[in-house]
Structure 1
Amino acid sequence: MSSKEPRGWGAGAVATTLVLVRHGVTKHTAAKAFSGGLGGDNPPLTQEGREQVMLTAEWLKPLAPSVSTVVTSPVLRTVETGEIVAGALGARLVEEPAFAEIEFGEWEGLTFGEVAQQFPDEMKTWMGATEVAPPGGESFDSAQARVLDGLSRVLEAHAGETVVVTSHVSPIKLIVAHALGAPIGGVFNMELSPASATVVSFFSDGRASMRLFNGLPVSRDHFAANTF
């Protein structure tokens, strides 16, 4: 077979699988407010958020034998999420700064409605241009560069493993867009629920495969069946 001919899925390639868990709700999540990384007020999980994560951690328990590491963003709500998940799986917790949420600058803590009223032109432009940042904040293009740097480090350090990553809406969407070879603007067309799990496998030959998107712990059957 020529090296240019396609090979079967998984043939001769090692898969590194990331289970990307969004943090549970905070006061900003409940209010549908912009909540960035370490540059914001860094709210903790609410009690509801902790309960959401506990359900997801219980749902992920069948993965415990194959997961030795939970990688977390350094932001408080994701660290708390990571601690709960790592405790349930008996895994160690390590931080990856590149997986922090986008910084929203002057929009931090404001709802979408408030931003639309106070920054109408800026918000309209931001919604259609990934290179544009909120005032004092960070653009999706800039965030993509650091998130993919972090992804490369994790894939290198954990080649062939299954790793849980506790992160935020924007970094998870950016990783999914990268895995699918989709335009970065696709982040505006994805929705992730609090404490949801998204599963992506990256293969050593350069391919990637999304196995699950925005999964919620209605049933543990998917994970128990070890289908990824």
Structure 2
Amino acid sequence: MSFAAGKPTRLLLVRHGATALTPEQRFSGSGGDDPALSTDGRWQAASTALRLAELGPVHAVVSSPLRRCRETAEAAAQQLELRVSLEVELREADFGAWDGLTFAEVRERYPDELAAWLAAPAAVPGGTGESLDAVTRRVEQARDKLLARYPGQTVAVVSHVAPLRTLVRLALGAPPESLFRMEISAASVSEVAYFDDGSATVRLLNDTSHLFEDPRI
């Protein structure tokens, strides 16, 4: 495959740092509580800010409006001497009644509903949640706005597991089931480059190399 000439638009995809729910791998969507970063999450955010500076120059920082992302983005913006722009379409999926539960708890309480969600992107989680099809539509809108707003520039995009997996999946042209085969760790960095001809390439996935040294030490 050949790519169009010219400087690509780079999206540096950052998952927010850890919250109290992260170590227990609980569903934490946009329809439940809005937790802050934990102590570990705050140092992860500081480390990620330094990593973004290495991958730059970064021209803009754009974040989901949820608190854990805003706090992660603010650490990056301070390091990069930029301001944070909020994009509501980058929020996490709404998991309905599953919010706050572990995967094992959902499997025990809602086995049929979970099986449907894993099998079909149109399935609605937690009774009143948001399907992966709906997440994909709004993430596509957010991506297209960023590409139009920042052509040829590098943008740090601070978001959540579902939106970030979706951006990678769309760049790869992979099927919906690939969402469940990607690891997007807390405070990880991935990168997608977009070219003028509409093509995209994934350059980095789930980089956590910056998290092995605590910046507080």
- Kept in 2, the 8 Å contact 1:40–1:108? The answer is yes
1:107 and 2:98 matched: yes
Report SS of the residue matched to 2:10. Answer: strand
Q: After superposition, where does 1:4-19 map in structure 2 within 5 Å? A: 7=2, 9=3, 11-19=4-12
1:76 and 2:67 matched: yes
CA distance in 1, matches of 2:49, 2:205: 16
- Kept in 1, the 8 Å contact 2:10–2:191? The answer is yes
1:48 and 2:40 matched: yes
1:179 and 2:168 matched: no
CA distance in 2, matches of 1:78, 1:149: 19
> For residues 68-105 of structure 1, what are the alpha-carbon distances to aligned partners after superposition, in whole Å with 9 as ceiling and x for unaligned?
21000011100111001111111121011111000000
Indicate which of 6, 22, 33 corresponds to 2:26.
33
- Kept in 2, the 8 Å contact 1:68–1:90? The answer is no
CA distance in 2, matches of 1:218, 1:170: 22
- Kept in 2, the 8 Å contact 1:68–1:92? The answer is no
Which residues of structure 1 form unaligned runs of 5+?
Answer: 1-5, 220-228
Aligned to 1:3: none
Indicate which of 197, 202, 206 corresponds to 2:189.
197
Which residues of structure 2 form unaligned runs of 5+?
Answer: 212-217
Aligned to 1:214: 206
CA distance in 1, matches of 2:140, 2:52: 25
Question: TM-score scaled by structure 1?
Answer: 0.88
Q: After superposition, where does 1:60-209 map in structure 2 within 5 Å? A: 60-64=52-56, 66-134=57-125, 135-209=127-201
Report SS of the residue matched to 2:9. Answer: strand
Report SS of the residue matched to 2:17. Answer: coil
CA distance in 2, matches of 1:95, 1:204: 25
Question: TM-score scaled by structure 2?
Answer: 0.93
Report SS of the residue matched to 2:41. Answer: helix
Report SS of the residue matched to 1:212. Answer: strand
| Offset, 1:218 | 4.1
| Offset, 1:13 | 3.5
Identical aligned pairs, as a percentage? Answer: 42
Structure number, greater radius of gyration = 1
- Kept in 1, the 8 Å contact 2:47–2:210? The answer is no
Displaced runs of 4 or more, over 4 A: none
Q: Count matched residues.
A: 210
